[in-house]
Each structure stands twice: as C-alpha cells, then as structure tokens.
Amino acid sequence: MKAEVDAPPRVKAPADVSAVDGPAPADASARTPRGPGIGVTVGALLRKELLVELRTLESVPGMALFAVTTFVVFHFALNRDTIDGDEAAGILWVTLLFAAILGVNRLFVADADQGGFDGFLLAPVNRTAMFVSKALALLAYLVVLELVAVPAFSLLLLGPSLAQAFPGLLAVLLLGDIGVAVIGTLVAALAVRTRARDLLGPLLALPLLVPVVIGCARASSPLLSIAHATGPPARWLLSLGLYDLVFGLIAFALFDFLLED
Amino acid sequence: MAVLEVEGLARHYGEREALRGVSLSLGAGETLVVFGPNGAGKSTLLRVLATLLRPHAGTVRVLGSSLPEDAWSVRGRIGLLGHEPLLYRELTARENLRFHARLHGVPDARVELLLSAVAMSARADEPLRALSRGMVQRVAVARAVLHEPELLLLDEPNANLDPVAVELMEPLIGAASGCTRVICSHDPSGGLAEADLVLGLRAGRTAMARAAADVDSAAIAELYR
C-alpha cells in the first residue's frame, strides 16, 4: 500500500532561529556545502578523542599501571636484579604489547555506546578520517605509556644503561608504536560492533601483532645488551617499516567497509 | 519533487523481519508521522532513510538520491534525532556541538545561536552526564538541526521534554522549521496535528497509509490493539 499525497505540498516559512534568538550569524552562508576536508575532520575527531580520554582516564592510566605491575612481577618472579639482551627485549615488548591491548579494546567503546558512530556517519566527511584520528590517538596513548613504562623497566629490570640504548631504541619504539596503532585500530573497529568485542579484539590483534613484537624485540636486543650496539639492526627496522606500511594500506582499503552496516 | 520515495522496502536483522513491503512518498515541506507499537519497525525505517542501515529489498530514494548507492550525496542534508542523542557524555554541550559543527563545516557562531535557541547557554559548559535527560534532549535537537538539514527524521522528538521545552523546539523541528519531516510518534492527537500523511506500521508491515485528514485518533489507537 502506498501513501498518497492528496494535497499539494504546503509552503512553509523557512527555518528562522533568529526569531527565537536574534539575528543569524553573518557568515552562516560560509558553511562548507560538501563537508570539511580530511585534515579538519581528523583534527576534530582527534581533539574529541583526547578530551574524552582526559575526562575519563579509561585507557592510558590502566595501560601504564599494567606495564609497571608486570615489570614488578617479572622482577620478583625471575629472582634476578638485572636482565639484558634478548631476555630484556622480549620482556619489554611483550609487556608493551599486552598493555597496548588494553587501549585497543577501549578505542571505539565510547563511539559504539554513545552513538558516536552514527553521528560521524551522518556527516559528509571522508571516513578514512576516523581511522587516521583513532590511530593517532592510540599512538599518543602508546607514547605516554612508554614514557612511564620504559623508565620503569630500566629501573626495575634492565642491566645496561638506558641512556646508551635510547637513540636507537627510540626508532624501534616509533616503528613498533605505528604498527600497534594501525593494526590495533583496524582490529578494534572490526571487533567493537560484535557482542564479544572484549574477547574478539585481543584474539584478532595478537596474531597480527606477533610480527611487530618479533621485529621490535630483535631490533632492541643488541641495544639492550651489555656490549650494546651503536644502533638497531637495519634489516629489522626495514621489516617493521614494511609491515607498518602494508597494514596501513590494508587499513586504508578496508576501514570504510568496517563502518558500513 | 518527492523528497522521499520508498517502494517495497524490506529490512531484516538476521532471521527477523523488521520491515517488509513498506512504500511511501513524501513531498518537499510535508510531514509524515509514523505510528505503530514497539517493535513495529519505526526506528528501523528512520535509520534506513538516514543512510545508517541498508535496505535489503525495495527501492529507496532520499532527496533525489538512491540508497544505498548514493548515500554519500545526502549525508549532511539529513538531520536525525533518534532515541540516542548521538552525543558524548563526557563532553559538554558546547564541545559536543562544536565537534559536530566541525564535521559538517558549520561555523561556531551557529553553535552559540542554537545553544541559546534551546535555552542551554547557561549549562553549555557542563558535561552531558551532569545534565537531565530533558536537557540532553534539547542539546540533541540542536545537534540534529546544526547543519540546517533539508530532511528531519525525528523519533519521538518530544521525549523527556517539558511543555516549555516543546515550545522552544518548535522553530527548530516543528512545522515552522519548513523542513520535510518524518516523525515517529506514539501520541495520536499530537502526531495527527503535525501530520500531512500518516503511516501506520505493525510488525514491519504497512497497516495504514493515508492523508492525515482521513485519519482520526481512534484509527491510530486501533494500530496498537
């Protein structure tokens, strides 16, 4: 049965908020008819993301606390004052990975629970902006996590001086963080609309992040050894960079579809 | 030109049919009021029209564009006011509206204008979680009309609003807004007063589709029996 329009459309007065509230702004006509550019959209989304995290403190404090607690546990469980080399690199990166998973799991929760997805999807914006902003937010969380976790690791477990390892370690941390941010964002977007999101996120993320952890641990190991190297092995840095790039492209291609019904 | 043209629309969630064989046509500036008991498919219809859900069968044209193929071209021309306010609880009313203003390329001046129009300027810097549901609904109305949409999709728009607030919202989402409107309602007399056309849904199917002048409250009440 089809609803029939029996009468011609009524002509109604245009929207006039000014009747309620004073004159309309002079620049109202200056609104962008096709929506803002991706830079503006990313900026707005990232600002919102960081504001929500600052107000709720749901992700970063938990991540940092988890990492520090894990180092304390290792300190006593290994019954050793110091570690170095492969062992140090392995413990550092596995701990950072599990701490990062806590952030990955929370990444889209506010959007899914409070209608943020719908609000975003109704706007005439490039949807890749949400991926970029979420990945940048996760990257920021990881940097803050490492500002706490790496010194704590040095204090509680690491034998060799962190100062000597630091310049090379910085490059490894950056490449590792980019990998975790890209893959974590992709997986979080996939998992958040499922009922088992808390389980599905880590189950999907961990296998995909294993190569990142292996690459980061191998690249960090010489830097964290007693006779530490001057820099991380180039082949591992290259592998990490390539892995980040491949997943960046995959995320770019897939992310729009993850937001679709 | 018809703003909405829907023919044989179907949508299901898994095995459950939420809409089946729904057809309607709505001209510019007209108001369609959708009645039906809980679970009749009203909210699903709005979400399909808002491009948030894909139709599983039938044809849907909104503002001249076919859905879902050309959904991108109508986003930003639709204002949706649903059960959820689509606002972040930890952000203030002003922050929420400015966020949506950025996404729609709307200047901040309009945010201030709308905060004042919904009488929320004084509480605009409090987080939404600290506001009453009625106040949040006022902010949600401001969010829905922020970008001056041509088509308003309103799911029980007066929910949680007191009579004064309902009057305040009239220039924004009422007949005076001049927008083409689709309103889901459970209020027969209030809904009929707004309507040019009435669509009654029951279990996802069209139970009534008439001009509002041909419908009375008793016919609406019958839908709920």
Residues 83-122 of A with CB under 8 A from B: 110, 114-116, 118-122
Interface test with A, best of B90, B173, B177, B202 (most A CBs within 10 A): B90
Gap between the Cα atoms of A55 and A51, Å rounded: 6
From the candidates B11, B88, B106, which should be mutated to test the interface with A, based on the most A CB atoms within 10 A? B88
Instruction: Please give the torsion angle defined by the CA atoms of residues A78, A79, A84 and A85, in that order, rounded to the nearest 10 degrees.
Output: -30
Apex B193 CA angle, B115 and A5, nearest 5: 105
A window 56-75, beta carbon within 8 A of B:
56
**Which H or E run contains B197?**
strand B197-202
Q: Is the four-CA dihedral B141, B129, A54, A196 of positive or negative sign?
A: negative
- B residues 27-66 near A, CB within 8 Å? 27-30, 32, 50-54
How many C-beta atoms surround the C-beta of residue B210 within 10 A? 17
What tens-digit pLDDT sequence spans chain B (225 residues)? 789 999 999 999 988 999 999 999 999 999 999 999 999 999 999 999 999 999 999 999 999 999 899 998 899 999 999 999 999 999 999 999 999 999 999 999 999 999 999 999 999 999 999 999 999 999 999 999 999 999 999 999 998 999 999 999 999 999 989 899 999 999 888 889 999 999 999 999 999 999 999 988 888 888 888
B139 vs chain A: nearest CA distance in angstroms? 13
A29 pLDDT more than 80: no
Fill in the amino acid letter for B89: R
CA distance B166 to chain A (A): 13
CA distance A82 to A159: 5
For residues B178 and A142, the model is more confident at A142
Q: Are B95 and A51 an interchain contact pair (Cβ–Cβ within 8 Å)?
A: yes
Tell me phi and psi for residue A236, to 5 degrees: -75, -35
Size of chain B, expressed as the number of residues it contains:
225
Q: Which residues contact A141 (CB under 8 A, 6 or more apart)?
A: A53, A59, A60, A63, A103
Chain B, residues 146-205, CB within 8 A of chain A, namely: 147-148, 168, 171-172, 175-179, 196-199
Q: How far apart are the first and last CA of chain A?
A: 27
The residue-averaged pLDDT of A202-213 equals 94
- A18 neighbourhood in chain B, CB within 8 Å: 113
Other Cβ atoms less than 10 A from the Cβ of A139: the count is: 18
CB contact under 8 A, B196 and A7: yes
Q: Regarding beta strands B31-35 and B197-202, do their DSSP bridges make them parallel or antiparallel, or are they unpaired?
A: parallel
Of B28, B76, B109, the CB nearest to A35: B76
Q: Which amino acid is at A37?
A: G
Contacts of A5 in chain B (CB under 8 A): 25-27, 30, 196-197, 211
Q: State both tokens at A248.
A: 């960046």
Contacts of residue A133 in chain B, CB cutoff 8 Å? Answer: none
Q: Is the CB of residue A4 less than 8 Å away from at least one CB of chain B?
A: yes
Whole-number pLDDT of residue A26: 35
What pLDDT is recorded for position A34? 66
Given this model, what pLDDT does residue A59 score? 94
B116 inside 8 A of chain A by CB? yes
Q: How far is it, in rounded angstroms, from Cα A19 to Cα A42? A: 35
CB-based contact A123:A259 (threshold 8 Å):
no
- Find the CB nearest B206 among A1, A25, A125: A1
What residue spans define the domains of chain B?
Answer: 87-148
- Please give the Cα distance from B72 to A122 (Å, whole number): 9
Q: How many CB atoms lie within 10 A of CB A132?
A: 20
Instruction: Give the lowest-confidence range in A50-59, A119-128, A175-184, A225-234.
Output: A225-234
Q: Give the percent of chain A with pLDDT over 70.
A: 86
B139 phi, psi to nearest 5 deg: -65, -35
Q: In this predicted structure, what is the pLDDT of residue A161?
A: 85
Considering only alpha carbons, which residue of chain B is nearest residue A46?
B99
For residue A257, the model assigns a pLDDT of 87
Asked if A102 contacts A69 with a C-beta cutoff of 8 angstroms, the reply is no
| Cβ count within 10 A of residue B209 | 20
A39 lies within 8 A of chain B by CB: no
pTM to 2 decimal places: 0.87
In chain A, what residues touch B169 (CB-CB under 8 Å)? none
CA B78, chain centre distance (Å): 9
Closest residue by Cα to residue A32 from B102, B43, B122: B102
In this structure, how many other beta carbons lie within 10 angstroms of the beta carbon of residue A25? 18
Which positions in chain B touch A106 (Cβ < 8 Å)? none
Phi-psi region for residue A97, left (φ > 0), alpha (ψ -120 to 50) or beta? alpha
| Contacts of B93-96 spanning 24+ positions with Cβ under 8 A | B93/B120, B93/B123, B93/B124, B93/B125, B93/B126, B93/B128, B93/B131, B93/B135, B93/B139, B93/B142, B94/B124, B94/B125, B95/A48, B95/A51, B96/B128, B96/B139, B96/B143
Arithmetic mean of pLDDT over chain A: 85
Could you tell me which chain B residue has the CA closest to the CA of A53? B90
Size of interface A-B (CB pairs under 8 A): 185
Chain A positions in Cβ-Cβ contact with residue B107 (cut-off 8 Å): 25, 27-28, 30-31
